[in-house]
Amino acid sequence: MSITMNDSMKIILADDHPLFRQALTITLKANFSNAEIFEAQTIPELEQILANRQGADLLLLDLDIPGAQGFNNLISIRCSYPDLGVVIISGYEDKETIYKAMSHGAAGFIPKSTSVPIMLLAIKEVLKGKLWTPDGEFNAKAQQSITADDKIASLTPKQHKILLMFSEGLLNKQIAYDLGLSESTIKSHASTIFLKLGVRNRTQAVIVLNEVKLNQGSFGH
């Protein structure tokens, strides 16, 4: 994704604070004259806008918007709309939260305490296809704090079951048959599992699972 400031674009702003949303919308319209701004104040509203505006260029997402489930919504959006740049705009600004957001696929993280000029700079950088965080880099200590246990815990029960079946060496077709699902659904779940675990394939996913088994002595979820 690389967009110039003169291009027409669609920006979605998902935040439940009316005054903040209004102020940011005014700022965006003043600085991106060709931008259409769509506002959502809950996750259901956001999902509806995303479904209707699949050509959106940028999503500005508050982690605490009503209906949010931690980073699960970010992960789901990145899986469903891989070409959509997602920037987290949050009241949180600790390095661990920033790192987790970026590791789950955010293109940027802007604390709400950020000044307007810096906020605009960050948005412009993301629109150019770059990543942006307050200090310009991920904190190594925060990276280390995201353990294999944390990653496995982020899986839904069904994703957890599919991962266990991966570890048994079952093929997607076999898993689909056993769970009464289509093979395409299993592939979709697999993509989400890989994203949540920060891996590229089922072999690496099973390694993460085995790491948790070794740490815990047994595996239960």
Question: In which band, very low, low, confident or very high, does the pLDDT at 221 lie, cut at 50, 70 and 90?
Answer: very low
pLDDT digits (tens, 9 = 90+) for 43-64: 999 999 999 876 789 999 998 8
Strand bridging mode 9-14 / 35-40:
parallel
Same domain, 196 and 119: no
219 inside domain: no
2 inside domain: no
190 inside domain: yes
Same domain, 90 and 30: yes
The CATH number of residue 34's host domain is 3.40.50.2300
Same domain, 162 and 58: no
33 inside domain: yes
The whole-angstrom separation of Cα 209 and Cα 205 is: 6
Question: In which band, very low, low, confident or very high, does the pLDDT at 130 lie, cut at 50, 70 and 90?
Answer: confident
Residue 218 class from Cβ within 10 Å (0-12 exposed, 13-18 middle, 19+ buried)?
A: exposed
Q: Tell me: pLDDT of 192 over 90.
A: no
Calculate mean pLDDT across residues 99-113.
Answer: 88
Taking the CB of residue 174, how many other CB atoms lie within 10 A of it? 14
Tokens of 44: 């259901």
Domain boundary pick from 85, 116, 141: 141
Query: By residue range, what is the domain housing residue 119?
Result: 9-141
Q: Which of 2-6, 154-158, 178-182 has the highest mean pLDDT?
A: 178-182
8 Å CB contact between 53 and 26? no
